[in-house]
Amino acid sequence: MNKKCPAGNKKLKVVNIGLQSFADSLRRQGVKVAQVAWRPPVKHDKDMTDLLDSLM
């Protein structure tokens, strides 16, 4: 990365829990990135559970 960084001369290390394209962009700039495949927990919905159960 050639641009000035607010962290000074320290190398960035990023944990990304968002879009894969964001992590890819950082990697292309030489930043170490750990990608986390995280999704918000699904709210339990009894009607949806019953519907899915009926399909099986």
Could you tell me the residue range of the domain that residue 28 belongs to?
13-55
Q: What confidence score (pLDDT) does residue 27 get?
A: 95
Q: How many domains does one find in the chain?
A: 1
Q: What confidence score (pLDDT) does residue 38 get?
A: 85
Q: Is a pLDDT exceeding 60 seen at residue 34?
A: yes
Q: How far apart are CA 8 and CA 35, in angstroms?
A: 24
Q: Is a pLDDT exceeding 90 seen at residue 10?
A: no
Residue 50 domain-assigned? yes
Tokens found for residue 40: 């918000």
Q: What is the pTM of this model?
A: 0.56
Q: How far apart are CA 56 and CA 50, in angstroms?
A: 10
Residue 5 domain-assigned? no
Residue 7 domain-assigned? no
Q: What confidence score (pLDDT) does residue 9 get?
A: 73
Q: What confidence score (pLDDT) does residue 4 get?
A: 65
Place 46 in a pLDDT band, splitting at 50, 70 and 90: confident
